[in-house]
Structure 1
Amino acid sequence: MFIRIFFSMLLGMLLISGNAQAEGNSTYKLASGDVVRINVFGEPDLSFEEIRLTDAGTFSYPFIGELRAKGKTASEIEQMLVDNLKGEYLINPRVSVSVLAYREFFISGEVKEPGGYPFQPGLTLRRAVALAGGLTERASTKRITIVRDQDADKPISATLDTKVLPGDTITIDQGFF
């Protein structure tokens, strides 16, 4: 009895976790550096385990050529592939696209190990600082700015609870004593 309850709880947690990941992928806009998986059911020659988007946010696909993925969601890429493969190449293509790895975020200034780090869904600035080895003794928790990947000329003020997005550039300034 205990084992059955344990496994049904575990299955429920996995389903919730999978839905959270799927919801994150459904609104996430792809850009340069993201890695996607493309699966065309029943067509191993058209399925790819890892495709990294180019600097221009594109990828090359058999029979179709160069496709622009920048600014599109995984489901929009699925529909693009279905539209291009349907008719001439396949009768009823079933395509799935999933994000395997998000592009990096960057953190500089008063952290112990500045640099680029892999993005993780649900990442906050507090966790990003922890990934970068923590704050230096001179760091200000009130003078933090983020430049978002999609809005490069508008730095925004941030707190340690601000959400970090893929491609963000975070700068932590010195505090005045």
Structure 2
Amino acid sequence: MFSRIALLFLAALASLSYADDARYELGAGDLVNISVYDEKDLSIEVRIGLSGEISYPLLGDIRVAGLSPKELEGKLVEGLKGPYLIDPSVTVTVVEYRPFYITGEVEKPGSYPFHPGLTVDKAISIAGGFTERASKGRIYVQHDGATSSDDSSERISVKLIDVVKPGDVLTVEQSFF
């Protein structure tokens, strides 16, 4: 009985993490593993370049930024099917997410590795916590892919419980008092 419940729980957990991974958009700096069943030469681990592309055997340079891992799987299957393989089975997984950045009134501003489930308060803790002059109510995020870092209209006010995404830039403003 217990083992059956444990198996159901693990299956549900696996489907949740896969669903999150399927919505995730790949971007420059992500490290992905591409595995093609029974094709060792086509299975690679590659970091997405600043151009948002990867170089893949037989297919050359492929634009992957903005695609989910599932969409990239489909793109690779489409490219390999026919001229190279009869029925390719491709799996794409994110090995390492691009970092997030935190600036302003935190003890150790800089870039840090992203982990799924990261919230603003956890990110601030990773950066050593607030400084004495930090404003806990004036925290902003600029999402990866924004066009201009000087344009304040692209900065969004966030709360401590909000979710951080890979590539996000968090800014903790200074308090007036």
Counterparts of 1:88-107 in structure 2, within 5 Å, are: 88-107=83-102
Q: Does 1:111 align with 2:106?
A: yes
Runs (4+) off by over 6 Å: none
Q: Does 1:27 align with 2:41?
A: no
Residue 36 of structure 2 corresponds to 40
1:27-71 CA distance string (max 9 Å, x none): 1111100111111111111112x2110011111111110000011
* Residue 112 to residue 9, structure 1, CA distance change in 2 (3 Å): farther
* Residue 12 to residue 133, structure 1, CA distance change in 2 (3 Å): farther
Question: Partners in 2 of 1:175 and 1:114 — Cα distance?
Answer: 17
What is the TM-score when the length of structure 1 is the normalising length? 0.91
Q: Does 1:163 align with 2:158?
A: no
Gaps of 5+ in 2: 149-153
Amino acid at match of 1:100: V
Query: Which of 56, 59, 66 is the equivalent residue of 2:61?
Result: 66
What is the TM-score when the length of structure 2 is the normalising length? 0.91
1:120 to partner: Cα distance: 1.1
* Residue 146 to residue 152, structure 1, CA distance change in 2 (3 Å): farther
* Residue 27 to residue 156, structure 1, CA distance change in 2 (3 Å): same
**Aligned Cα root-mean-square deviation (Å):** 1.4
- Percentage of pairs with the same residue: 44
Gaps of 5+ in 1: none
Q: Does 1:54 align with 2:30?
A: no
Question: Partners in 2 of 1:152 and 1:14 — Cα distance?
Answer: 41
Amino acid at match of 1:73: S
Residue 174 of structure 2 corresponds to 174
